[in-house]
Structure 1
Amino acid sequence: MTVGMSFVGLLMMGLPISLTLAVLALIYIVVSGNLVLLQSYPQQMFGGLESYGMLALPLFILLGEFMNAGGIGRRLMAFAMALLGPLRGGLAYVNLGANMMMASILGSTVAQITIMSRLAVPEMEKAGYPKDVSVAITAAGGLLAPIIPPSMMFIIFGVIAQVPIGDMFIAGILPGILIFVAFCGLIGWQAHRYDFPRSPRMSMQERIRAVVDAIPAALIPASIIVSILGGLATPTEAATIASLLAIMIGMFVYREMTAADIWPALVSAARGAAVVLFLIAAAQVFSWVITFENLPAKVAAYMQGLTDSPIIFLLLLNVLLLGLGMITDPIPAIILVVPVFLPVATDVYGIDPIHFGVVLCLNLTLGLVTPPVGTGLFTASLLSGVRAERIALLLAPFLIVAFAVILLIVFRPELTLALVRWF
């Protein structure tokens, strides 16, 4: 009870979630009277980072920095235009298609929305799309970043849950494609209902030029997916290979990146990774407290009293996660939820941990574009100048469609597990 009240109080005081988790462990030690546990406190905190898989996180962040500096995003946008541009509402499809390709490189919603707001929104405005609609489609495309591998959320879940990160990446492929196809269907309906403009037709020569120019950029996501699926590299090694490939393409193929750009990219990636890694270290200590409180066993007993059905358990968990995702960012939410509910899901209901992880991450992804926290929502609003409330309203159909896909995955676990078992 004291730990719970302290948690709420610290958050209300505005203390960052990472410091809140670290302080909670100290409060528990003092309240329980087991002061000898203070000797294990540093060990528990550093133990949270002693994972080879954790190296993938800063490396994928670094990959995004190199990609941005090398002009790769612009080439992927032109490639999507060559394939999807001639359709009614073509730029909306292009926006979504480019978002999917960027998701396979960045793995970060905020980074993706930031880049796509600069690339896609101005082009859609020039073509006659309302600005608020353009921003909403860009924000909706950002939902693909935590799903299409490499996903930062999958990396963090894999580390905390002790499941192979490569398997999580593979499990996210089909759900990501399903959400992309569902979004395309929604845009198709909106294009005819609201009479979206058609994009100017590109000549065959222009299309060929765009496709050829994008081939080096496409090698980056291809190298990640092929090396992991083929068993040639771990996610950490794949991130290293892709980062080196991004440097070579940016410097020697597109020639938009110089040696002077490498150091700022390293510094930016280090700062971004440090924030996440400290949060994970603090979470390890928090999980330690949860274990001593025997909270998973208490939650398991409570859930068993409610239902014996794994499906009902997942549906109830969906409601909890949607609410949690609205008030906190996904990474802290993963850290809070996984140590409590994963043992219940696997030991009591026999749910595969990979299926559980995909459902968990998909639910929390929706919170990225929903108020009152919605990091992706407010990023899009800040960059575009469109009110967050207006973007949220226009995003509602996309969120409904995404939630329908989540329900489909809940009832059909093979959508997440089939590729994992195949490979």
Structure 2
Amino acid sequence: MFNQATMPRQAIEPRAGKPSGWIKQVDVFLGYLIEIPVALLVVAEVVILFSGICARYVFNTPLIWSDELASLLFLWLAMLGAAVAFRRGEHMRMTAFVNRASASTQAFLHVFAISVSLFFVLLVLGPSYEAVAEQAVITTPAMGLSMAWRTAALPTGLTFMTIFAVLRLVELSNWRLVGKTLALMVVIGLALYAMTPLFEELGNYNLLIFFVALVALGVFTGVPIAFSFGIAAYAYLSLTTFMPVTVLVGRMDEGMSHLILLAVPLFVFLGLLIDMTGMAHRMVSFLANLLGHVRGGLSYVLIGAMYLVSGISGAKAADMAAIAPVLFPEMKERGTDEGELIALLSATGAQTETVPPSLVLITIGSVTSVSITSLFIGGLLPSAVLGVMLCLVVWWRNRTVDLKGVTRQSPGEVVKSLVVALPALALPFVIRAAVVEGVATATEVSTIGIVYSCIIGVCVYRQFDVKRLYPILIDTAVLSGAILLIIGTATGMAWALTQSGFSADLAEFMGSLPGGALTFMCVSIVTFIVLGSVLEGIPAVVLLGPLLFPIAEELGINDVHYAMVAILAMGIGLFAPPFGVGYYAACAIGRVAPDKGIKPIVGYLCSIFIGLLLVAAIPWLSTGFLDK
């Protein structure tokens, strides 16, 4: 789940003499108007959930309203965060093809992406207000509040997105380009509307038109994934069915507000917090002192550090951003090729997709009803298997490296760095123990990590920059809003697919494949690798999880085992060039040109693919430590 670089600014810079000053002032004012509340919402969620833990576990007096209030505020956090992400241009999108186009084509596609997003927002804005009116008569059970207070988050967030989209188009000051783009969209819309009689006769072939062709058109032209999904679902419902489009708004609400997904922003915040408090630096420093003197030692450190940090943050962007700045300078100084660095960083990103508290694990649990705790336990060993496969490649590539200039740290220095790192190294175990022992749920446990990190940062490492706290809160809301909006629109798509009867057809097809479970597993691996490179993990899981997991269960495949295989396969696709967007995010974080890592990453991807086959062939690797 990564946002690629936006198009070059010079291609869209407003022409001189145009009224861009007032636009900037309005944009800044609205930015503060929305960013301050969303930062406070992140803090409020942490306080509410941690208070619930203390009241229940410490004082044995549960707060019956805590989950209800957290859920109410969560939808506001998701929608306002998505609006801030829209303002910053940080919604997830694939730009592999856009970046290869000419400057003029990039400018057109940039306007096209904004226009498609604007059209979708305007189309669902009215139904979202209708949903508020419908929910106004319903009250919450514990607090007695009207549900309109909660549902109002949808039209509010959509309204802000509308304003920001209009500001971006006005800011371009290229009315000819904007006019051509809007005219093209009107033509496409009218053409689809004129084909309505044909759609009525095509049946489920419409799914190929709307959920394959139309989505692909949006994704490959750089339209943010959430809006590509949303416009396709809206077009399908309005042009091929008699269902009211308010259904789409309801499914978006349902998909974005599932309480278990509240772990997404909280773990993102935790990942950024451990970087700010210096905990990540201490962990990596200890590992570097321990293994830095052996051939490929820092590469082993990179693999181990990504495994440890992934067990804390749950967000790949946060993982890589915490590790690369610490290790890359030293590795480059020792002569490691920067292409090799970025290749290994990307491969470890794919390797650690199942390390709890992975956002994909949380998502797959929420949409398939698989136990989050079981997924957390089952994800540790499969990732370790892939880590061993990466270590074998590192050993082979570094077996002849000259280590004459490398100084081995004394045992005293290693022990000293271990003592310093112990409070940071303890965090993954604190989080896991809290879940396993029942102290906190998978949603709440991140707040324990947040409080723990704050205490360690202030009292132990004396590294807690209050000035960085506000930007971290905003970054948390932005990334979370972008992720949750994808989940919301993808939930609408998944519901439409289910209602169309596609799931039954897919189940019949997959069940009829020769070879039973073996063939189904092989086809699933290929499918998730392909979709992982195009759609990224979370939207692919939301779309296919509810469809494929029941089939796997019918064929006798354990749901946790199947989840591990699916997630690892998507991870390979996500970080595999030339289409895997995670690879380009790793290049951006490591500040390395993408072309330099394509050749060295092949060996790493092959090794973790072999590891994936081992995980698929040996269910015990995923289920061996689960309670029977």
State how far apart, in whole Å, the 1-side matches of 2:331 and 2:570 are.
29
2:530–2:570: 8 Å Cα contact kept in structure 1?
A: no
Shift of 1:313: 0.8
2:583 paired residue number:
377
> Do structure 1's residue 25 and structure 2's residue 233 form an aligned pair?
yes
> Do structure 1's residue 343 and structure 2's residue 547 form an aligned pair?
no
Residue 569 of structure 2 is aligned with which of 363, 379, 394? 363
1:206 paired residue number:
413
Shift of 1:154: 0.5
1:11 counterpart letter in structure 2: A
Comparing both structures, which one devotes a greater share of its residues to helix?
A: 1
1:412 counterpart letter in structure 2: I
2:537 paired residue number:
330
1:224 paired residue number:
431
> Do structure 1's residue 399 and structure 2's residue 605 form an aligned pair?
yes
State how far apart, in whole Å, the 1-side matches of 2:334 and 2:259 are.
47
2:283–2:421: 8 Å Cα contact kept in structure 1?
A: yes
1:3–1:24: 8 Å Cα contact kept in structure 2?
A: no
1:235 paired residue number:
442
2:293–2:403: 8 Å Cα contact kept in structure 1?
A: no
- Equivalent residue pairs, number: 420
Shift of 1:66: 0.6
Report the CA distance shift for 1:352/1:304 in structure 2 as closer, same or farther (over 3 A).
same
1:86–1:198: 8 Å Cα contact kept in structure 2?
A: no
1:72–1:250: 8 Å Cα contact kept in structure 2?
A: yes
State how far apart, in whole Å, the 2-side matches of 1:318 and 1:291 are.
22
Report the CA distance shift for 1:83/1:53 in structure 2 as closer, same or farther (over 3 A).
same
State how far apart, in whole Å, the 1-side matches of 2:418 and 2:607 are.
31
Instruction: Spell out, residue by residue over 1:192-231, the C-alpha distance to the aligned partner (whole angstroms, 9 max, x if none).
Output: 1455777411122211220011011112111112222333
Q: Which moved more, 1:191-200 or 1:301-310?
A: 191-200
Shift of 1:121: 1.1
State how far apart, in whole Å, the 2-side matches of 1:197 and 1:406 are.
37
State how far apart, in whole Å, the 1-side matches of 2:378 and 2:387 are.
15
1:292 paired residue number:
499
State how far apart, in whole Å, the 2-side matches of 1:198 and 1:408 are.
38
**What's the secondary structure of 1:183's corresponding residue?**
helix
The equivalences for 1:17-416 within 5 A come to 17-35=225-243, 37-195=244-402, 199-347=406-554, 349-416=555-622
Shift of 1:129: 2.0
Which structure has more relative contact order (CA 8 Å, sep 6+)? It is: 1
State how far apart, in whole Å, the 1-side matches of 2:320 and 2:469 are.
23
Instruction: Spell out, residue by residue over 1:344-378, the C-alpha distance to the aligned partner (whole angstroms, 9 max, x if none).
Output: 2223x122222111110000001222123322311
1:75–1:217: 8 Å Cα contact kept in structure 2?
A: yes
1:311–1:410: 8 Å Cα contact kept in structure 2?
A: no
Structure (1 or 2) with the larger CA radius of gyration: 2
State how far apart, in whole Å, the 2-side matches of 1:240 and 1:98 are.
22
Shift of 1:322: 1.9
State how far apart, in whole Å, the 2-side matches of 1:305 and 1:222 are.
44
2:564 counterpart letter in structure 1: V
State how far apart, in whole Å, the 2-side matches of 1:295 and 1:156 are.
22
> Do structure 1's residue 11 and structure 2's residue 221 form an aligned pair?
no
Shift of 1:247: 1.4
**What's the secondary structure of 1:380's corresponding residue?**
helix
If the length of structure 1 is used for normalisation, what is the TM-score? 0.93
Report the CA distance shift for 1:291/1:384 in structure 2 as closer, same or farther (over 3 A).
closer
Instruction: Spell out, residue by residue over 1:316-353, the C-alpha distance to the aligned partner (whole angstroms, 9 max, x if none).
Output: 11122222223332222222221332222223x12222
Report the CA distance shift for 1:134/1:26 in structure 2 as closer, same or farther (over 3 A).
closer
**What's the secondary structure of 1:421's corresponding residue?**
coil
1:171–1:416: 8 Å Cα contact kept in structure 2?
A: yes
State the 4+ residue runs in structure 1 displaced beyond 6 angstroms: none
2:347–2:604: 8 Å Cα contact kept in structure 1?
A: yes
State how far apart, in whole Å, the 1-side matches of 2:206 and 2:458 are.
56
Shift of 1:55: 1.2
Q: Unaligned regions of 5+ residues in structure 2, if any?
A: 1-204
1:112–1:145: 8 Å Cα contact kept in structure 2?
A: no
Report the CA distance shift for 1:360/1:10 in structure 2 as closer, same or farther (over 3 A).
closer
**What's the secondary structure of 2:398's corresponding residue?**
helix
Shift of 1:123: 0.6
> Do structure 1's residue 421 and structure 2's residue 622 form an aligned pair?
no
**What's the secondary structure of 1:34's corresponding residue?**
coil
Shift of 1:172: 0.3
1:376 counterpart letter in structure 2: G
Query: % of aligned pairs identical?
Result: 28
Report the RMSD for the aligned CA atoms in angstroms. 2.0
2:513–2:519: 8 Å Cα contact kept in structure 1?
A: no
1:87–1:198: 8 Å Cα contact kept in structure 2?
A: no
> Do structure 1's residue 2 and structure 2's residue 210 form an aligned pair?
no
Shift of 1:384: 4.0
2:351–2:608: 8 Å Cα contact kept in structure 1?
A: no
**What's the secondary structure of 2:577's corresponding residue?**
coil
